[in-house]
Chain A
Amino acid sequence: MSKTAMFSNHKYIAFETIVIKEVRRFSRIWLQTLVPPVITIGLYFVIFGNLVGRRIGNMGGYDYMDFIVPGLIMMSVIQNSYSNVVSSFFSHKFQRSIEELLVSPVPNYIILLGFIVGGMARGLAVGGIVTAVAILFGGLTIESPLITLSVILLTSTVFSMAGFINAIFANSFDDISIIPTFVLTPLIYLGGVFYSIQLLPPFWQTVSGLNPIFYMVNTFRYGILGSSDVDVYWAFIILSVLIAVLFTACIWLLRNGRGLRS
């Protein structure tokens, strides 16, 4: 086997190893990782979808339950992709097991891709279970499977990388909960999960347009329901730009050893 071939194979094995390790990690603690979001989202379905939703009636031309389902699925994907990478990578730092990776001949981009795919795996696993719960509550028809799938993959990629950056800068377990609590959750709730932007005054419609999660939620809703408050092309442009910027930032941080090498 040539050296080039050996290295190319080595990279694949290393990538596969990181992904398996990540999936094994969140599967081992499934009671902490997979069950709670499903219970939370299930309660949203019961309370907002069925109980409150009946009184609300239509939203954006759809039954309220149907309207919130895409947003709730997207919310679970965003939160779980992010929290998987931030908690896993920070735990590696905290226990110093990250040194196993840094000493080994694994290129930085493989380390990053491994954690991204690990985060996506959890985001999609939880998103999948939430979708199954949504089907139990009243069925789900997907208008555009391609848009639905692509937006959910790109969104989980973005938030996996965001979680990675948070973990690099974090020095304590408090630091990994600050961003999800004070930034991510408000952005998700104000991102049109529970309401249509049309209900807002023009000023707040403009402000909502600055929230990238608003585009992701609405594009996902477009994929499922076939209607959206935003132009889906904008959403894909925003997602692509975010991925490019975050990927570059992650690689730069890894190369410089910020928070990892002294």
Chain B
Amino acid sequence: MTVAIAITELRKTYANGFEALKGISLEVEQGDFFALLGPNGAGKSTTIGVISTLVNKTGGSVEVFGRNVDTHIFETKLDFGVVPQEVNFSQFERVKDIVLTQAGYYGLPRALANKRCEKYLRKLGLWEKRNDQSRSLSGGMKRRLMIARALIHEPRLLILDEPTAGVDIELRRSMWEFLTEINESGTTIILTTHYLEEAEQLCRNIAIIDKGRIVENTSMKQLLSELDSQVYIIDTSNDLTGKFEQIAGTEYELTGVTYQPVDEHCIEVTITAGVQLNSVFKIMEALDVKVLAMRNKSNRLEQLFISKLSQNQ
């Protein structure tokens, strides 16, 4: 499998002495949808800054599709596109001009640039706004414009730094669909996000960075398998008062399952890894409890994320 990006012993110390990266190493395979998670100030944006050459590294190396960013700067830059965390286009230019100008920086001939501009602005729902000044766009539209701009040269690797920050749920989900689509078409994606649900939903592999060090680097599946229990909130149509308090020692008791009432129609169920959800439903049925809805109490990845960070303290 080709490696899309290989980061080796990357270090960055800023002029004020702050050591943002303390020798991180990371590999992302071609075609992957990779999450880089970490709390504020962990080093995510610095890592992306070094890859995209906006931040001068102190040490280490970055290779994009086997080519060193330092020695093959122009070829490697053709291979990736970056969607930054903050809006970084001219607020006084038209939407279309921003995308076409970027196409020009990448050497796309005008006819091809126009074609791709239309393609990506349509895909991202911005075609109707193409002649509007960019400052008139909403926050979500500005983020989509930055994605269209980053894709104009059709890079093999797309790096997104918190692309859905401050974006409403509906728009976030439509962006997820779009990113999944371009990943399925072969584009490698590296994503940093604060929404752990987003990482869990989209990414196959994950690295957690904290205080300039990688504290976890594994597959999402592997990481989630480390969870030893999950907590579900179950809404029912029955009055549950006293129902689950009395099952201890009866035939309805299940090893590895505990119940905690939330209110008279709702209960919190903690299920240890290995216990089947079916068995919980069987108990519910036997107690004549009608389940209306069920959801995770908290995001599964969030539990692991917090646990990994606390281990790094």
- A: which residues have CB within 8 A of B? 6-7, 9-11, 13-14, 16-18, 20-21, 24, 28, 91-92, 95-97, 99-107, 257, 261-262
Q: How far is the CA of A100 from the CA of B87 in the complex (A)?
A: 11
Known contacts A13-B109, A92-B90, then 17 further A-B pairs from the complex at CB < 8 Å, ordered by chain A residue: A7-B74, A13-B104, A13-B107, A14-B107, A17-B101, A20-B104, A24-B97, A91-B90, A95-B88, A100-B88, A100-B101, A100-B102, A101-B105, A102-B53, A104-B102, A257-B56, A261-B55
Q: How far is the CA of A20 from the CA of B109 in the complex (A)?
A: 14
Residue in B closest to A99 when the chains form the complex, CB atoms: B88
Are B77 and A103 in touch, CB under 8 angstroms? yes
Residue in A closest to B73 when the chains form the complex, CB atoms: A105
Contacting B53 at CB < 8 Å: which of A18, A97, A261? Answer: A261
Q: Is B91 an interface residue (CB 8 A)?
A: yes
Interface Cβ pair total, 8 Å cutoff: 81
Are A103 and B90 in touch, CB under 8 angstroms? no
Are B53 and A262 in touch, CB under 8 angstroms? no
Q: How far is the CA of A106 from the CA of B55 in the complex (A)?
A: 17
Are A105 and B77 in touch, CB under 8 angstroms? yes
Contacting A10 at CB < 8 Å: which of B90, B92, B106? Answer: B106
Q: Contacts of B149 on A, CB cut-off 8 Å?
A: 100
Are B107 and A97 in touch, CB under 8 angstroms? no
Q: How far is the CA of A97 from the CA of B84 in the complex (A)?
A: 11
Residue in B closest to A24 when the chains form the complex, CB atoms: B97
Q: How far is the CA of A234 from the CA of B151 in the complex (A)?
A: 51
Cβ distance B300 to chain A, nearest Cβ, rounded Å: 35
Residue in B closest to A107 when the chains form the complex, CB atoms: B74
Q: Contacts of B86 on A, CB cut-off 8 Å?
A: 96
Q: Contacts of B54 on A, CB cut-off 8 Å?
A: 99, 102-103, 261-262
Are B107 and A11 in touch, CB under 8 angstroms? yes
Residue in A closest to B14 when the chains form the complex, CB atoms: A262
Which chain B residues in 76-103 approach chain A with CB under 8 Å? 77-78, 82, 84, 86-92, 97, 101-103
Are A261 and B56 in touch, CB under 8 angstroms? yes
Contacting A105 at CB < 8 Å: which of B74, B101, B109? Answer: B74
Decide yes or no: A104 and B88 within 8 Å by CB, A13-B108, A261-B56 being known contacts.
no
Q: Is B61 an interface residue (CB 8 A)?
A: no
Contacting A262 at CB < 8 Å: which of B56, B89, B106? Answer: B56
B137-150 vs A, CB cutoff 8 Å, 1 = contact: the mask equals 00000000000010
Contacting A6 at CB < 8 Å: which of B15, B97, B107? Answer: B107
Cβ distance B195 to chain A, nearest Cβ, rounded Å: 24
Residue in A closest to B84 when the chains form the complex, CB atoms: A99
Q: Is B49 an interface residue (CB 8 A)?
A: yes
Q: How far is the CA of A99 from the CA of B101 in the complex (A)?
A: 13
Residue in A closest to B110 when the chains form the complex, CB atoms: A13
Residue in A closest to B20 when the chains form the complex, CB atoms: A262
Q: How far is the CA of A190 from the CA of B92 in the complex (A)?
A: 38
Q: How far is the CA of A104 from the CA of B99 in the complex (A)?
A: 13
Are B55 and A97 in touch, CB under 8 angstroms? no
Decide yes or no: A97 and B89 within 8 Å by CB, A16-B104, A21-B101, A103-B82 being known contacts.
yes
Q: Contacts of A18 on B, CB cut-off 8 Å?
A: 104
Are A14 and B55 in touch, CB under 8 angstroms? no
Q: How far is the CA of A21 from the CA of B102 in the complex (A)?
A: 11
Q: How far is the CA of A92 from the CA of B84 in the complex (A)?
A: 15
List 5 A-B pairs, minimum CB-CB distance, nearest first.
A17-B104, A10-B107, A104-B105, A105-B77, A96-B88
Residue in B closest to A12 when the chains form the complex, CB atoms: B107
Are A97 and B109 in touch, CB under 8 angstroms? no
Are B49 and A262 in touch, CB under 8 angstroms? yes
Decide yes or no: A104 and B77 within 8 Å by CB, A257-B56, A261-B56, A262-B49 being known contacts.
yes
Q: How far is the CA of A146 from the CA of B87 in the complex (A)?
A: 47
